[in-house]
A and B are shown apart, each in its own frame.
Chain A
Amino acid sequence: MIGAIVTAVGFWLVGAAVRRLIGGGARFLLGLGTTGLVLHVALLAGVPPIPVLVAIGAGSILTLFLVRRRAAEPPPRTPAAAWVMIVAPVVFLLFVTAIVPLADYDGRAFWLLKAKAIAVEGEIDGPYFSGQGGHNPKNEYPLLVPLAAAAVMITAGDIDDMQVRWIYVLALGSLALHARRWAGAWPAALITWLPQFAVEPQGSALSAYNDIVLAAFAACAFFEIVERTSPLRFGVWISFLLLTKNEGLPFAILLLAAAAFVWRGRVLRALPPFALALTTLFVWRLRVQPTDDDPLLALLPTLPERLERLGPAVAGLLSHAASLERWGLFWFAVVAALVLLAVRREWQFAGVPVFLMAGMSAVYVAAYMVTTWHMPDHIAVSADRLLMHLVGPAVYLLSAAAARAPLSSRA
């Protein structure tokens, strides 16, 4: 229970403080990302986690006292029914995850095992990550979420996964609430109802996979491009993104490319946090040995020899998008929205989201083509989770197509 409170209050508090400094929204996600990033940098520098957590907590409280509230835009208009639709699944999920033990695969096998190791050893290059502390699968997976989970475990004084179950549910809630401003209340509410986000055993808020968090950071970064006000905030989101999962780095690069197109030279303001996170990731990876990670980057040169896999890879990804059991009619609706925008020649709304969705889909298809796994198996266990990452641009497309007047005329 302590962990649940720390998760709900602690990250929100840190996010509220960061929001005072850089503006924006999604306090929970901002707090989660900031805690993970700061811990990553500090632990890499050899600072133990407890003083870092004390500093983050004290710094956040001081910031909230000392820094004036920014003049924020009024919250997006949300009909009561839409509120209920967003909050109801989240409340049920909070209830379930407070009681029912974690039963997923990757969350237990990889992500939370790392969180436990960090919480126990207080290091990200200690015995566990150097292979002296037993089996350490996927040793080079980025650590932002395990670090944030470790922060909760350390604060709660318990490394049981029950302490951190709410991270994933609150990330989903925060994503949906944050998306309201750009996607509208109803398309945003839809996110919490999608089976893949809500109830699917592998990847949903019931699990401890990092895909919801990655989808949320990617959506926040995308919405910053739509908003066009703060390249720095955009840089913060993509810095979180690249430290969340391996897919985060190509996604961050695509987002940067889109941002450079939209912002031109102003995009340089996004680079400091991005460069900090990238340096952190690479320096850390120099200190640890890869174990059973699929070396996709090294396999990319084999792409021309695997062209016969292109069709099956695309078909595999599309077949998962068409799964009614996991997505309902969501992706059909996204395609319909895209067609509608094309017919209406409203490319100003479709350009960036289509670029991001097509770009990331191409990355995933290329990864499937060169994977050392049996490709259909790889697609079966990952395609739905990869599709989750695209939810921000997707709901934006839905709202742009559905709205008589665009929700954000600034896109």
Chain B
Amino acid sequence: MTAARRLALAVLFLSAAWTTVPRLAEEVRRAFDLRALSHLERRTEMFRPFYEQFLHIDAFLPRGEPVGVILDTFPDAGPALFFAYYAFPRPVHFYHGLPQYRSDPAAPQRLVAMSRQTGELRLMTYAEIRAERIGAKHVVSRLEPGPEEVRALVIPLVSSGDGPPPDVYTTEAVVVNRGAQAAYVRVRMFPAGHEAAFVLEAGELRTWTDFVHQLFGTMETGWLRIESDQPLGARFWFVNRGRNDAEVLEPASWFRKARLDVPPGGRMWVLNPHDRRLPVRLNQGRHRLPPRSVIPLVWVGEALVESDDDWFAFVSWRDAGGDTRFIWPERR
């Protein structure tokens, strides 16, 4: 080999070694540092906190139980893929957002979500992830309570639940205590019978983005009875977050006879506030409503609704844009 060729070869080796040697030395140093640890400890050390969180979740779940991973943003993909890798043979299914999860009839019950802020892996329920996504951001742009002051109030329809994508139903609410004394507020949800209470300090205004879930920790539909030892101002909205749509919910005022007109595709909701079955007449038909129930009936056209005791009915329908609208009864 001539001197020139030797020199060229040496330059070539040096140009490669310039990067390879320090990086290989760093890897060797790392291997020395890790060699006393067990294999799991090495991985934990290298992929902290991801691998610790993975081990915690994996140990908590029954062996072989499928788990879903909710991906909201592209950067989630890497940790999600590695979660699936380390979890194998546990089946791991990926969902690009909650709507895709809801669309899968065979979706696993357990879900793993990644915090957008920290990348933290958390084993969560669908409701918990949904609540976190909803957060404190209201759909209603002007959250103002009504001018009336009441100590008792019935909201005929409240919901925390999801329909086919993109429908995500919540109840947004605002309650204010304009008085000079703290108000003790008791809220009951029917027909489930959930009960909760809270105190509103004098002058305090409080809002909810998903009243049912935030107060009762459940995803259900029903009606509310609210009682307070002080007069309150309040307003509730039926919200479809998937469509950015909000419609005011009128408080129920009992009647014995009313006329309702149900547009095509609409539903007539009938509410029995009593603890007993309530016989009612819808046009010429006779029905008995279950205790404390609110029931949607498929109905088209005019309905004359009557009973010998107090009750309530209203109509919901969706307009051409898919937004939910309500028709409240004319009392007779």
Contact = CB atoms under 8 A, between A and B. Distances in A.
Interface in B120-140: none
Contact of B16 (A105, A186, A327): A327
Given A92-B24, A159-B88, A99 B34 contact: yes
Contact of A199 (B11, B19, B34, B89): B19
A141 interface: no
A109 B85 contact: yes
Given A99-B31, A100-B27, A324-B15, A109 B20 contact: no
A151 B131 CA distance: 46
Contacts of A326: 19
B13 A100 contact: no
Contacts of A263: none
A402 B12 CA distance: 12
B92 interface: yes
The A contact surface, by secondary structure, is helix
A194 interface: yes
Interface in A93-141: 93, 95-96, 98-101, 103, 105, 108-109, 112-113, 116-117, 120, 132-135, 137
A190 to B, nearest CB: 6
A96 B13 contact: no
B27 A328 contact: no
Given A89-B24, A134-B90, A402-B5, A160 B39 contact: yes
B75 to A, nearest CB: 13
A85 B17 CA distance: 11
B28 A116 contact: no
Nearest to B22: A199
Interface in B40-88: 42-43, 46-47, 66, 69, 78, 80-82, 84-85, 88
A193 B20 contact: yes
Interface string A367-406: 0000000000000000000000000000000000010100
A325 interface: yes
Q: How large is the interface on B (under 10, 10 to 19, 20 to 34, 35 or more residues)?
A: 35 or more
B31 A100 contact: yes
Given A108-B85, A113-B88, A329-B15, A134 B23 contact: no
A134 B92 CA distance: 5
A42 B84 CA distance: 28
A402 B92 CA distance: 54
A123 to B, nearest CB: 13
B332 interface: no
Given A113-B84, A113-B85, A134-B91, A101 B20 contact: no
Given A92-B28, A95-B31, A133 B89 contact: yes
Given A120-B89, A199-B24, A333 B8 contact: yes
A89 B16 CA distance: 12
Contacts of B80: 135
Contacts of B92: 134-135
Given A117-B88, A199-B20, A134 B66 contact: yes
A206 B93 contact: no
Given A100-B30, A101-B42, A199-B19, A328 B12 contact: yes
- Of listed A100, A103, A326, residue having the most chain B CB within 10 A: A100
Interface in A75-91: 85, 89
Contacts of B89: 116-117, 120, 133, 159
Contacts of B254: none
A162 interface: yes
Contacts of B35: 99
B9 interface: yes
B94 interface: yes
A197 B288 CA distance: 79
B292 to A, nearest CB: 43
A146 B247 CA distance: 56
A328 B15 contact: yes
Contacts of A95: 28, 31
A359 interface: no
A103 B92 CA distance: 20
B93 A134 contact: yes
A198 interface: yes
A251 interface: no
Interface in A187-221: 189-190, 193-195, 198-199, 206
Given A329-B11, A402-B8, A402-B9, A193 B39 contact: no
Given A99-B42, A113-B88, A324 B82 contact: no
Given A99-B31, A330-B12, A195 B20 contact: yes
A103 to B, nearest CB: 6
Nearest to B80: A135
B103 to A, nearest CB: 16
Contacts of B31: 95-96, 98-100
A135 B39 contact: no
B60 to A, nearest CB: 18
Name, among B42, B80, B89, the residue most crowded by chain A CB atoms within 10 Å (CB to CB). B89
A327 B80 CA distance: 32
Contacts of B13: 85, 189-190, 193
A135 B88 CA distance: 10
Given A100-B42, A190-B16, 20 more contacts: A96-B28, A99-B31, A99-B35, A100-B30, A105-B78, A113-B84, A134-B90, A135-B69, A135-B84, A135-B92, A137-B81, A159-B88, A159-B89, A189-B13, A199-B24, A328-B16, A328-B18, A330-B15, A330-B16, A402-B8
Interface of B: 1-2, 5, 8-9, 11-20, 23-24, 27-28, 30-31, 34-35, 39, 42-43, 46-47, 66, 69, 78, 80-82, 84-85, 88-94
29 contacts: A85-B13, A89-B20, A95-B31, A96-B24, A99-B31, A100-B27, A101-B42, A105-B78, A108-B85, A112-B85, A116-B89, A132-B91, A134-B66, A134-B84, A134-B93, A135-B80, A186-B9, A190-B13, A193-B13, A195-B19, A198-B20, A199-B24, A326-B19, A328-B19, A329-B11, A329-B16, A333-B8, A402-B1, A402-B9
4 smallest CB-CB distances across A and B, nearest first, come from A328-B15, A134-B91, A328-B16, A109-B81
